[in-house]
């Protein structure tokens, strides 16, 4: 039997070898596995391929892994809040694959569902379609997109039980559930670890069968990536 509940983020990231591909949940800074990212930075694992909606910000989130030069490649949809990412990308230090956000989500879903690929009109006629098969479907040109999968997925949930069943809170759900299905090993950090049976089965967002390890995190900052206000 796999021991699902582990001691914490340090034990979790010790399982990730150099050169691994790692999906990281979150949208902006919402729903990111803060403890796991910080522990991965401390552990110093290098040459990583990171698959995440965005690249964090300078000094927080995935931005700290860029600053420590632990990332070889990033597959993402939006990277506009990180100056260190921009510098590394323009200098050629970092390999970057930008994917339209809806396509990104569907590629991950396909990876988790075992789907070999899908056609989408998004990106046709742009650099996104370079080198990819195209086809006319219903009179509309489409691009063939491949599924996305990874060695590891690092996700963040609000509640989790000892069997690995997870519940996300509101918009912090974002990419976490689909990433949990698309990796060989999924590691979850949760705000509240509860006993098996404490979560109503109808409330489970990610069934425990997809989760290899989990732990209860602490010290969440829950920063806002960009705060916009208006005069009252």
- Say yes or no to pLDDT of 165 above 70: yes
Residue where the block lists tokens 């965005």: 54
Exposed, middle or buried: residue 127 (CB in 10 Å: 0-12, 13-18, 19+)? exposed
E-strand spans in 48-173? 48-51, 71-76, 95-98, 118-120, 134-137, 140-145, 150-161, 166-167
The pLDDT tens digits of the residues spanning 20-78 come to: 999 999 999 999 999 999 999 999 999 999 999 999 999 999 999 999 999 999 999 99
Dump pLDDT digits (tens) for 175-208: 999 999 999 999 999 999 999 999 999 999 999 9
CATH architecture of 9-115+147-216: 3-Layer(aba) Sandwich (3.40)
Percent share of the chain, pLDDT over 70: 100
d(C-alpha 167, C-alpha 177), whole Å:
9
Whole-structure pTM over 0.85, yes or no? yes
What is residue 149's DSSP assignment?
A: -
What percentage of the chain has pLDDT greater than the value 90?
91
Contacts with 23 (C-beta within 8 Å, 6 or more apart), sequence order = 51, 52, 108, 148, 150, 152, 153, 154, 179, 182, 183
The mean pLDDT value of the chain amounts to 96
Listed by start position, the domains of the chain span: 9-115+147-216
Is pLDDT of 232 > 80? no
How far apart CA 182 and CA 185 sit, in angstroms, is: 9
């Amino acid at each position: 039997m796999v021991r699902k509940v582990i001691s914490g983020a340090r034990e979790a990231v010790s399982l990730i070898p150099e050169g691994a591909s790692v999906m990281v949940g979150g949208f902006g800074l919402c729903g990111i596995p803060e403890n796991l990212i910080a522990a991965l930075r401390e552990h110093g694992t290098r040459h990583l391929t990171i698959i995440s909606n965005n690249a964090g910000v300078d000094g927080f989130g995935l931005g700290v892994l860029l600053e420590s030069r632990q990332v070889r490649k990033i597959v993402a949809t939006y990277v506009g809040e990180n100056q260190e990412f921009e510098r590394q990308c323009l200098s050629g230090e970092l390999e970057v694959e930008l994917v339209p956000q809806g396509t990104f989500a569907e590629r991950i879903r396909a990876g988790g569902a075992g789907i070999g690929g899908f056609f989408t009109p998004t990106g046709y006629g742009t650099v996104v379609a370079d080198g990819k098969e195209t086809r006319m479907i219903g009179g509309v040109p489409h691009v063939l997109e491949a599924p996305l999968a990874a060695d590891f997925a690092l996700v963040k949930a609000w509640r989790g039980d000892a069997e690995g069943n997870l519940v996300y809170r509101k918009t912090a759900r974002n990419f976490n559930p689909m990433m949990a299905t698309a990796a060989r090993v999924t590691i979850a950090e949760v705000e509240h670890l509860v006993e098996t049976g404490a979560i109503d089965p109808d409330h489970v967002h990610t069934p425990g069968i997809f989760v290899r390890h989990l732990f209860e995190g602490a010290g969440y900052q829950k920063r806002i990536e960009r705060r916009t206000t208006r005069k009252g």
